Amino acid sequence: MTKSLTLVQSDLPMNEKIIEIATKLFAEKGYQTVSTREIADYLGINISTFHYHTGGKSNLYKSVIESLYQRELQVLNQPILDFEESNFSDKKKVQDTLLRALEGFLDLMLKDPHRAQLYVRRWLEWPDEFMPQEVKVTLKTFQPLKEFLEKAKSKKSIRDTDSSIFIRSFLWMTYGYTITGVIDWKNWVSDPFKKKNLNSFKDYMREYTVQMLCAL
């Protein structure tokens, strides 16, 4: 099928191809709407092959979520893991680490905008059978950032801001921008990948982070 060739790298292992296509379809149409037949047709494989590699639609969705959050955990938390405990009293180093972590997360969302689409769609679909797993991997992803913020607050390197509200606000702004761009006052939505829009949003998020957390 030629359509599948435009959506996924042909040299990927079959499991990764299936996860990539399933992520896009779940994001665009929702878990309940997408059928196993549709995913298989996009890849040009039969249902037996699909089930052999996935174990079924429910298991596939769990694999999609695990795959997405594993990458986010790495990108968001690597600057935090590299941060030396002795530097928590250094306001500049704390600020730089936060900006690297958050900007890395934003860049990851922009490389794969289906992530944001899927998360927003799923939040609107909750609660369902997948909610416990999604909650578990989400908390695991953002817990290190929360702990970093709490340690920085204890050293008075950042403002005494509610870290949970800050993280939630950052996520919604990031997801919203990734899906709709900045407001276009003629069309409401705009291209989030347009250089001018992207630079404006990154500047705003940088300033937002500094003002909310680092402007003592």
Residues 72 and 105 in one domain: yes
The residue type found at 66 is E
Compute the distance between CA of residue 48 and CA of residue 65 in angstroms, rounded to an integer. Answer: 23
Which of 39, 54, 69 finishes a domain?
54
Selection from 3-12, 74-83, 121-130 with the highest mean pLDDT = 74-83
Shared domain check, 34 and 14? yes
β-pair partners for 128 = none
Average of pLDDT values for 71-88? Answer: 94
Number of domains in the chain: 2
Picking from 54, 70, 88, the residue at the C-terminal end of a domain is 54
Domain hosting 114: range is 61-214
At residue 1, the pLDDT reads 35
Question: What is the pLDDT at residue 9?
Answer: 53
108 & 163 share domain: yes
Are residues 49 and 84 located together in one domain of the fold?
no
Same domain, residue pair 18 and 81: no
Considering the domain architecture, whether residues 90 and 37 belong to the same structural domain is answered as no
**CATH code for the domain in which residue 161 is found:** 1.10.357
Which one-letter DSSP state was computed for residue 83? S
Does residue 91 sit in the same domain as residue 39? no
Domain final position from 35, 54, 73: 54
Clarify whether residues 131 and 32 are in a common domain: no
Average pLDDT of the segment spanning 44-72: 93
38 in the same domain as 96: no
Clarify whether residues 16 and 112 are in a common domain.
no
Does residue 193 register a pLDDT over 70?
A: yes
Question: Where residue 34 sits, what CATH number does that domain have?
Answer: 1.10.10.60
**Are residue 79 and residue 153 in the same domain, yes or no?**
yes
The predicted pLDDT at position 116 comes to: 93
- Do residue 116 and residue 48 come from a single domain? no
**For residues 190-213, b (16+ Cβ closer than 10 Å) or e, as one string?**
bebeeeebbeebbeebeeebeebb
Using 50, 70 and 90 to split pLDDT, how confident is the model at 82? very high
Helix, strand, or coil (residue 1): coil
Query: What is the C-alpha to C-alpha distance for residues 137 and 201, in angstroms, rounded to an integer?
Result: 27
Give the pLDDT confidence score for residue 216 in this predicted structure: 62
Question: How far out from the chain centre does Cα 99 lie?
Answer: 16
